[in-house]
């Protein structure tokens, strides 16, 4: 068991289908065998098409940005894990701070979504991270610990091994303010220790923990070279093929 390096792009609610296809094709073209695993989290409407674009590309996967905790039925507007699997999706981002903040997704719902994703053969990228007020009060580790305990730590060892964790301090998302490499390392180390206390050192050591929040070509190398940072979850800079590709190759 060893950690997998991952650079994931979260496109959020950006790009038309045409723009998304162009971006995905450019990323696939630039990807090389010794790159970290590349994941593109595209909008739902693009997943089928982008699933087809990455199908034969080694080391490139497609992710959804959310999914329902229910499997099927009368849930207007929701998208199920079965639907995602049927178009080639492998990963699902869960608990992004924008889902928590704007759509009121709490830890209890996220625990259910995690079960649904893992129970149906998909892999969660589980996001955690504190707002600025919590950081200023010095309570960031406690805040993240609660998110992990309530959203993830009900999982069995066997299931937890499949989870990718993404630490995204909210004050660094879309703001241009990145956590310093030391701040990122400090929290990643703390998160790994939280995982170790629950699941043991071996599993903690093998868990991929991504950093997210204003990752750019100019700062990626320094952040990714921290010992407990195993890659990134990139928003804005993942929408430009040249920037995203430079980030992929940063380590
Ligand atoms: P930015 O890279 O735009 O700050 O977004 C980070 C993020 O939210 C990725 O999920």
Distance between the two ends of the chain, CA-based, in angstroms? Answer: 21
> Would you put residue 129 in left (φ > 0), alpha (ψ -120 to 50) or beta?
left
**What does the pLDDT read at residue 63?**
98
User: Which residues are annotated as catalytic?
Assistant: 96, 168
Residue 226 has pLDDT above 70, yes or no: yes
Query: How confident is the model at residue 177, as a pLDDT?
Result: 85
| Nearest-atom index, ligand 1, CA of 238 | 2
Q: Which of 93, 32, 1 is nearest to 251 (CA)?
A: 32
- Our separate counts of H helices and E strands in the chain read 12, 8
Residues with CB under 6 A from ligand 1: 10, 96, 168, 173-174, 212-215, 233-237
Residue 1 scores a pLDDT above 60:
no
Å from CA of 73 to ligand 1 middle: 32
Instruction: Retrieve residue 106's tokens.
Output: 């709490």
CB 220 within 8 A of CB 194: no
Residues 43-77 pLDDT 10s: 999 999 999 999 999 999 999 999 999 999 999 99
Instruction: Give DSSP secondary structure letters for 76-98.
Output: TT---HHHHHHTT--EEEE--HH
pLDDT in tens, 137-190: 999 999 999 999 999 999 999 999 999 999 999 999 988 888 999 999 999 999
Q: Which letter does DSSP use for residue 68 in this model? A: -
Using a cut of 0.75, tell me whether the model's pTM lies above it.
yes
* Separation of CA 232 and ligand 1 centre (Å): 9
Question: Counting atoms of ligand 1 from 1, which one is nearest the CA of 173?
Answer: 4
Ordered structural domains, the chain, with CATH: 6-248 (3.20.20.70)
Calculate the average pLDDT of the chain. 96
Beta strands in 112-230 (DSSP E): 123-128, 164-167, 209-212
pLDDT tens column, 3-36: 999 999 999 999 999 999 999 999 999 999 899 9
Contact 126, 195 (CB under 8 A): no
pLDDT of residue 100: 97
Q: 200 to each of 147, 189, 195, 207, how far by Cα in Å?
A: 19, 14, 7, 11
In the three-class reduction of DSSP (H, G, I as helix; E, B as strand; rest coil), residue 218 is classed as: helix
- Please report which helix (H) or strand (E) contains residue 233, including its range: strand 231-234
Q: Tell me what the mean pLDDT of segment 84-91 comes to.
A: 96
Question: Average pLDDT for residues 83-110, to the nearest whole number?
Answer: 97
% of residues, the chain, pLDDT over 90: 95
């Amino acid at each position: 068991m060893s950690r997998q390096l991952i650079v994931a792009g979260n496109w959020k609610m950006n790009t038309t289908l045409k723009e998304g296809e162009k971006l995905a094709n450019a990323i696939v073209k630039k990807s090389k065998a010794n790159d970290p695993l590349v994941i593109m989290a595209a909008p739902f409407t693009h997943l089928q098409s982008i699933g087809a674009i990455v199908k034969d590309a080694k080391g490139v996967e497609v992710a959804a940005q959310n999914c329902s905790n229910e499997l099927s039925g009368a849930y207007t507007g929701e998208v199920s894990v079965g639907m995602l699997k049927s178009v080639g999706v492998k990963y699902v981002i869960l608990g992004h701070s924008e889902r928590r903040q704007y759509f009121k997704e709490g830890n209890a719902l996220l625990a259910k979504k995690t079960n649904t994703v893992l129970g149906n053969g998909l892999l969660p990228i589980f996001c955690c991270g504190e707002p600025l007020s919590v950081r200023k009060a010095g309570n960031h580790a406690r805040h993240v610990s609660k998110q992990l305990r309530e959203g993830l730590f009900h999982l069995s060892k066997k299931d937890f091994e499949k989870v990718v964790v993404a630490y995204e301090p909210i004050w660094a998302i879309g703001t241009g303010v990145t956590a310093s490499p030391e701040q990122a390392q400090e929290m990643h180390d703390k998160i790994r220790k939280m995982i170790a206390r629950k699941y043991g050192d071996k599993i903690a050591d093998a868990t991929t923990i991504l950093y997210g929040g204003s990752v750019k070509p100019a700062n990626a190398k320094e952040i990714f070279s921290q010992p407990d940072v195993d890659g990134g979850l990139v928003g804005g800079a993942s929408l430009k093929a040249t920037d995203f590709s430079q980030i992929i190759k940063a380590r």
